[in-house]
Structure 1
Amino acid sequence: MIIGTGIDLVDIPRFERTMSRTPRLMERLFAPTERGLRLPSLAARYAAKEALIKALGGSDGVHWTEMEIGSEESGKPYFRLSGSTADAVEQRGITSLHLTMSHDAGFATAFVVAEGAPL
């Protein structure tokens, strides 16, 4: 059963300007394993985290660095959740998260589907 969906779109040049103006955002928004990625990939991960918050119906109990995006060998992205963020997802009855991300032509986007057991 689908519990929630979320989508987000990021203007990559605007994201780059924001990150340049406020370098501390890197530590606040991204897990250590994500911080070395190129800015378009970071913008897509930012979009994924925003989309997850939308799929959850809000940010209560959610922390940016506890939402890490990894990739399977095939390139398929997935969430690695920890701490209170993992707890918040579990408390909402979510058993599976589906994620897709892309970046092209100056934009990054992500879409999330949150699934749970049928009621």
Structure 2
Amino acid sequence: MIIGIGVDICQVDRVAAMLERHPGLMDRLFNSAESHTADGRPRSADSLAARFCAKEALAKALGSPGGMSWLDAEVITSANGAPEFVIRGTVAARAAECAVQNIRLSLSHDGGLATAFVICEG
């Protein structure tokens, strides 16, 4: 059963400019595994924008209750190359409150836009 659906879209340039203007924001939004590739290189602006959208879309799918930490929803790349969430803390608590058992995530970026779609299932 679908518990919630969330979608978000943003301009890649806008996210890149925001992170450049406020360097501390990177550490408040992303952990090191999200901000860097597996081989340690910084992620592209496209990839960071998509991950930002993923967190926004997840918050929407969970009802946007506020009080959730950005770092408690980590976007990882699974063994098969698909994006997925690792949730903990405030986000895991909200997901449990909503009886979420599975979270599906799709990311895309093209033409200067990034988007994410999230389905929470219970």
Question: Common fold, TM-score beyond 0.5?
Answer: yes
Q: Deviations over 1:6-45 (max 9, x none)?
A: 0000100111111111111101111121122222101000
Aligned AA for 1:11?
A: Q
Matched position secondary structure for 2:32: coil
Aligned AA for 2:13?
A: P
How far did 1:61 drift? 4.0
CA separation in 2, counterparts of 1:73 and 1:83? 24
How far did 1:114 drift? 0.5
The aligned residue for residue 17 of structure 2 is: 17
CA separation in 2, counterparts of 1:84 and 1:57? 13
CA separation in 2, counterparts of 1:88 and 1:4? 12
Aligned AA for 1:23?
A: P
- TM-score calculated relative to the size of structure 2: 0.90
Identity rate, percent: 42
1:59–1:29 CA distance, 2 compared to 1 (3 A): farther
The answer to whether the aligner puts 1:82 opposite 2:88 as a matched pair is yes
The aligned residue for residue 39 of structure 2 is: none
> Any unmatched runs of 5+ in structure 2?
37-42
- TM-score calculated relative to the size of structure 1: 0.92
> Any unmatched runs of 5+ in structure 1?
none
Moved more, 66-75 or 90-99: 66-75
The aligned residue for residue 4 of structure 1 is: 4
Give the aligned length. Answer: 116
The aligned residue for residue 58 of structure 1 is: 64
Counterpart pick for 2:97 among 91, 97, 101: 91
